[in-house]
Chains A and B, each alone.
Chain A
Amino acid sequence: MTTADDPYDDEVFAAEYVLHLLDASERQRFETRLRDDAGLRQLVHRWEAQLVPIADEIEEVMPPAHVRTAIMAKIAQTPSSPPFLRRWSIGILGIAVAMLIAVFAFGPLLRGTVDLTPQFQAELTSEDGTIILIAGVIPPTHEIVIERFADVIPEGRVLELWLIAQGSDLPVSLGLLEAEGLTRIRVPDDIAPGVRTGTVAISEEPPGGSPTGMPTGQILATGTFKDI
């Protein structure tokens, strides 16, 4: 599909979208497609990552102090709250989803017995069977806690954690691992339900993580979760 004679394919549409060159109606149509098309979202993310170095030439400017004050005041109105309560702010659908999730996943939380220890765990092992990482999941907070056992990271690279949901072959990045010690990663609510049944994988990537939204380096280890 992508040939030099066909400059109007999705690659180019995605670039025009990222550059804000589409007119209002084209942009709206593109956004409608984006909602259901993970492949198209990936093209957008890739262009965003590849074009962003152009912004390097923009000089930094210190914003005035009153802007900081205004922003901090606005934020202060939102108290620190358990993540699931925040779902209430995104409207009726959010509430419905949150209640469903609450019933299935946060039962213990609603009954007032919050268990913040990992409930299921995956051992990520390399091809030769060495355990590289152990990842534990804390369901009430959607957190994955990762402990490193073997040091496999090549010089100048970082480790990135991916989730491949059951029945899908598209990895979703869950985030980067700390250079040392424990890493805690909060899984976005929309993909959290897929963690228990999915496969997690670890890849080595350039600093800052994969620029493309897909693993670009070697997959070092994979694993699935089991109840503890």
Chain B
Amino acid sequence: MTTPADIEKMIAQIALRDHSAFSALYDATSRKLFGVCLHVLNNRSEAEEVLQEIYARIWHKADNYAVTGHSPMTWLITLARNLAIDRLRTRKAPTKDIDTVVDLADDRPGPEAEAIASSERARIEACMDELEAARADAVRRAYLSGETYKELAARHGVPLNTMRTWLRRSLQKLRDCLTR
């Protein structure tokens, strides 16, 4: 199994322009990152294009990795999610029903997902549990599917500003819980 330390080493070698480290990193991480792209975009050809952008970015920006202080999978997943949502925002109209994507999700974590320390996972889960179910759901959808305040407001049948206030309060609560 590829460990976080292995992935970190690959990133360090990629910063030094090591092609073989790059293909090893692709083979070890592309399934998870493609999963992220598909989840956000729900469109295979767009997800494939964004995956190419992600790895081009990794190749050129590997030396930025250390600055973030992130664990390697956190850095990679964050990068993938950011680029996928950027692509989503360039669309004019939504082309999907997000529910269908969420229903497809498989709860079984793969070997790469396990790279995120389980203590971190337990912490965010416990704090999300302290939020009202509907609000925790909104945070989750914003994170996983890149839903906007407008989409979340429509989904929950509340005015835009109400959703914004809800979510900001929830993020504040989450912050307080996470720093406890």
A16 to B85, CA, bound (A): 13
| A128 within 8 A of partner (CB) | no
Q: Are A50 and B178 in contact (CB under 8 A)?
A: yes
| A48 within 8 A of partner (CB) | yes
Residues from chain A with Cβ under 8 Å of B115 in the complex: 208
Q: Are A58 and B35 in contact (CB under 8 A)?
A: yes
Residues from chain A with Cβ under 8 Å of B71 in the complex: 49, 207-209, 211
Residues from chain B with Cβ under 8 Å of A20 in the complex: 82, 85, 89, 142, 146, 148
A174 to B81, CA, bound (A): 24
A34 to B105, CA, bound (A): 33
Interface size class of A (residues with CB under 8 A): 35 or more
Known: A49-B74, A55-B81. A63 touches B30 (CB 8 A): yes
Q: Are A83 and B16 in contact (CB under 8 A)?
A: yes
| A178 within 8 A of partner (CB) | yes
A72 to B25, CA, bound (A): 12
A76 to B110, CA, bound (A): 30
Looking at the assembled complex, report how far the CB atom of B147 sits from the nearest CB atom of chain A, in whole angstroms.
Answer: 9
Q: Are A184 and B12 in contact (CB under 8 A)?
A: yes
**Segment from A4-12, A95-103, A145-153, A193-201 that makes contact with B:** A4-12
Looking at the assembled complex, report how far the CB atom of B101 sits from the nearest CB atom of chain A, in whole angstroms.
Answer: 10
Q: Are B19 and A75 in contact (CB under 8 A)?
A: yes
Q: Are B142 and A19 in contact (CB under 8 A)?
A: yes
Residue-wise interface mask of A (197-218) relative to B, using a CB-CB cutoff of 8 A (1 in contact, 0 not) = 0000000001111111110000
Q: Are B108 and A58 in contact (CB under 8 A)?
A: no
Q: Are B19 and A185 in contact (CB under 8 A)?
A: no
| B156 within 8 A of partner (CB) | no
Q: Out of A24, A72, A89, which one reaches B23, CB within 8 Å?
A: A72
Q: Are A188 and B66 in contact (CB under 8 A)?
A: yes
Residues from chain B with Cβ under 8 Å of A52 in the complex: 73-74, 77-78, 116, 120
Residues from chain B with Cβ under 8 Å of A57 in the complex: 105-107, 109, 144
Q: Are A188 and B64 in contact (CB under 8 A)?
A: yes
**Most chain B beta carbons < 10 A, residue from A49, A173, A188:** A49
Known: A56-B113, A189-B63. A2 touches B175 (CB 8 A): yes
| B10 within 8 A of partner (CB) | no
A71 to B174, CA, bound (A): 38
**Most chain B beta carbons < 10 A, residue from A56, A158, A186, A191:** A56
| A33 within 8 A of partner (CB) | no
A19 to B66, CA, bound (A): 22
| A175 within 8 A of partner (CB) | yes
A74 to B120, CA, bound (A): 36
Q: Are B175 and A212 in contact (CB under 8 A)?
A: no
Known: A58-B36, A61-B31. A19 touches B70 (CB 8 A): no
Residues from chain B with Cβ under 8 Å of A81 in the complex: 17
Residue-wise interface mask of A (146-168) relative to B, using a CB-CB cutoff of 8 A (1 in contact, 0 not) = 00000000000010000000000
Q: Are B113 and A67 in contact (CB under 8 A)?
A: no
| B32 within 8 A of partner (CB) | yes
Residues from chain A with Cβ under 8 Å of B23 in the complex: 72
Q: Are B77 and A55 in contact (CB under 8 A)?
A: yes
Q: Out of B112, B125, B168, which one reaches A12, CB within 8 Å?
A: B168
**Most chain A beta carbons < 10 A, residue from B69, B77, B104:** B69
| A54 within 8 A of partner (CB) | yes
Q: Which residue from chain A places its CB closest to the CB of B113 in the assembled complex?
A: A56
Known: A53-B124, A55-B144. A60 touches B35 (CB 8 A): yes
Q: Which 5 A-B pairs have the closest CB atoms?
A: A208-B71, A213-B69, A59-B106, A60-B31, A53-B121
11 cross-chain CB contacts under 8 A: A7-B168, A16-B167, A20-B89, A52-B77, A52-B116, A55-B113, A56-B113, A58-B36, A60-B113, A178-B9, A209-B71
Known: A21-B148, A58-B36, A83-B63. 7 other contacts (CB 8 A): A7-B171, A45-B68, A51-B124, A53-B125, A208-B4, A208-B115, A213-B69
